[in-house]
Amino acid sequence: MNLKRYLTIYAALWKNSVAREMSFKGNFILWIFVELLWFGLQLSLVTVIYSQTNSVGSWTKWQMVLLVGASNFIQQIYQAFFLTNCIGLSELVRTGKMDFLLALPVNTRFIVSTRQVDLGAFVNAVFAICVMLFAAHKLALTPTVGQLFGFAALCVVGIFIHYSLMFMLAAISFWTVRAQGIVYGYFNLFNIARMPDEAFKGAFKAFFTFALPVLLVSNVPTRVLADTLGSSKLWLALIGLGVVWAVISEWFWRLSIRRYTSASS
């Protein structure tokens, strides 16, 4: 019964998001175009890199195209469900609108995290899938059902890692009032996720693999799809980090919400 209630609420939030997007069709189409342009520039960068070399570590040109496509797919799905809401948390705190959300008879984190849906990001995710399909064709890949399921499952884990980290950073606004700069700073780290893990060495690679696992989030699912994952340790690490960051994020959220005293007090 509780699940049905939350699904009903979420359906209503989707309806509101559709109505909002259709009210500003020009902005909706413009942002799709801007995201596609940025995606095209990322693919152009791959062409530039591989005009100078045949491989980056063990990554060939079309494997890297597959990686860029997978990274963009993960980013767009994350953006569709969570980005706008994480960025908006700071404004809820600053204006005191959090008072209203706290008074609702639903889980506050749920409503804060799911208030808006970016429908344009789903369109861009489809283009990312098309790029992955083309790269898979060039690589002559014939992934099994298990590989496809593993890729999808690891993408979901990666999306929730990004959500846990960015939501925790957004919750800093309970101390600083404004935290959009911090949130956008983490969002810019998605650019690192488009690069092969073998392109990095030492402390930098370790930090972005285990502390802020942006490299794992895109590289591991891509390796599963391309059948180049030599060990199960990497996907186990990704799932383990997903659990760890989810627990830390929930703890930090509860700590943060206790500091909220509303805009009027």
Type of residue found at 177: V
CA distance 102 to 105: 8
pLDDT given for residue 179 in this prediction = 67
Q: Could you count the other beta carbons within 10 Å of the beta carbon of residue 175?
A: 10
**In sequence order, which ranges of the chain are alpha helices (DSSP H)?**
2-23, 25-50, 61-78, 84-95, 98-103, 108-114, 119-138, 145-170, 173-176, 180-188, 190-193, 202-206, 214-226, 233-257
pLDDT given for residue 107 in this prediction = 92
CA distance 46 to 22: 35
128: buried, middle or exposed (CB in 10 Å: 19+, 13-18, 0-12)? buried
pLDDT given for residue 32 in this prediction = 85
As given in the structure block, the two tokens for residue 55 are: 């491989």
- All residue ranges of the chain with pLDDT < 50 are none
Q: Could you count the other beta carbons within 10 Å of the beta carbon of residue 15?
A: 11
Q: Which of 166, 187, 170, 194 is closest to 44 using CA atoms?
A: 194
pLDDT given for residue 233 in this prediction = 86
Type of residue found at 49: I
